[in-house]
Amino acid sequence: MVRSDIIRGHLDSIILKLISEKDRYGYEISQEISLRTNDRFQIKEATLYAVFQRLEKKDLIEAYYGDVSHGGKRKYYRITTLGKAYLAELAKEWKEVKEIIDLFMEGLG
């Protein structure tokens, strides 16, 4: 199990990336994270919605209601143009961070 504090700083990137692939709703995103990480990382619902709020406030994503399903309207999120640009920046930044960490960690473990 990966320590959540290590990933916490990258939640914006992870969620923006998932939303950039296609419009998604909250539960779908949490399921996708569990699936892709083989259950090594799971996001709590409260954390997920705090990230949504933060990203919406910065105009990186926007919410809309989809069709009625299971008795209620599902809230979907889509990435904005600004969000796409920000995600590209985050990806570039991550590549540099990863290269620096690799310099020190290669050959260990």
Cβ atoms of residues 100 and 26 within 8 Å = no
User: According to the model, what pLDDT value does residue 72 have?
Assistant: 79
User: According to the model, what pLDDT value does residue 24 have?
Assistant: 96
CA 48 to chain centre: 8
pLDDT in tens, 39-77: 999 998 899 999 999 999 999 999 999 877 777 788 999
Read off the pTM: 0.87
pLDDT in tens, 6-26: 788 889 999 999 999 999 999
User: According to the model, what pLDDT value does residue 87 have?
Assistant: 97
Return the H-helix or E-strand segment holding 25. strand 24-25
* Check whether domain 4-105 has CATH 2.30.30.60, yes or no: no
Question: Which residue in 39, 16, 7, 2 sits closest to 85, CA to CA?
Answer: 16
